[in-house]
Amino acid sequence: MAARIDAYFDCVSPFSYFAFVHLLRNKDVLRSHGVEIDFHPVFLGGINAGSGNKPPFTLPAKAKYMKYDVPRSAKYFGVEGFKTPKFFPILTVVPQRCIIYIKEHYPTERFEQTWLSFWQYLFVKNVDTSKPEVLAEIFAEHKFSEQEIKDILAAASDPKYKQALTDNTQKALDRGAYGAPYYWVRNSKGEEEPFFGSDRFPIMWKFLDLPVSEPTIKSATSGDARL
């Protein structure tokens, strides 16, 4: 049975950004081992509401921890120039509906690279990607024509794409999601398990039975030790 990663991401989530970057970097090598990835845009606000979870910034202890964890995660994943904008968070129903339209109508690579720009504009350029004019700028950057940009933006108010985002979000909830990034992973044996966060990839690779090397720490005297 074909191995597969279904990844549920929202472009407001910094940890979805880190995970997206990491999976894109490893997409070809994963495919060489028969592992396919499908990225699904979801509405994180809907997942929080549907699961009873609360955003980290609303809980003082989590908010304090995030001040440390987000910058060091950005450094670990090689996301240069990362900074959380002062207007964070944003409402992402418009950009997420638009990217579902792009996924449906354009090649996978174009969909992925355009979506990647949503995070880059928000967390590197600190521009509010919930605004249609900002999205139009991103789409122009990715060589969509004026008519294509109008069609993509119109999708944000189209009942079909409103429902598509709702359906994606509900699918994630049905699979146990309580935040993002969230994954439903099937290995070559047909076994399926959920994973959450941007720091579970080594465990995910083991579940997928991929040939990986354990990270090691160099001894100050001699030999190595596993982390």
Give every CB contact of residue 155 below 8 A, 6+ residues apart in sequence.
Answer: 97, 98, 100, 101, 161
Q: What is the mean pLDDT of residues 12-18?
A: 98
- Taking residue 86's Cβ as centre, other Cβ atoms within 10 Å add up to 6
Per-residue pLDDT reduced to its tens digit, 107-126: 999 999 999 999 999 999 99
Q: Note if 16 is an active site residue.
A: no
Looking at residues 6-15, what average pLDDT do you find? 98
pLDDT of the residue at 197: 97
- Sheet-wide strand order for 192-196: 35-41, 3-9, 182-186, 192-196
Higher pLDDT, 46 or 223: 46
Q: What is the pLDDT of residues 48-98, one digit of tens each?
A: 999 999 888 888 998 899 999 999 999 999 999 999 999 999 999 999 999
Residue environment code for 2-39, b if the CB has 16+ CB neighbours within 10 A, otherwise e: ebbbbbbbbbbbbbbbbbbbbbbeebeebeeeebebeb
Instruction: State the pLDDT at residue 126.
Output: 98
Per-residue pLDDT at 69 = 96
Residue 92, pLDDT score: 98
Output the average pLDDT for the chain.
95
**Looking at residue 57, what is its pLDDT?**
81
Marked catalytic residue, from 13, 16, 130, 198: 13
pLDDT of residue 225 exceeding 70: no
Q: Which domains does the chain have, with CATH numbers?
A: 3-226 (3.40.30.10)
In sequence order, the β-bridge partners of residue 37 are 5
pLDDT class for 154, splitting at 50, 70, 90?
very high
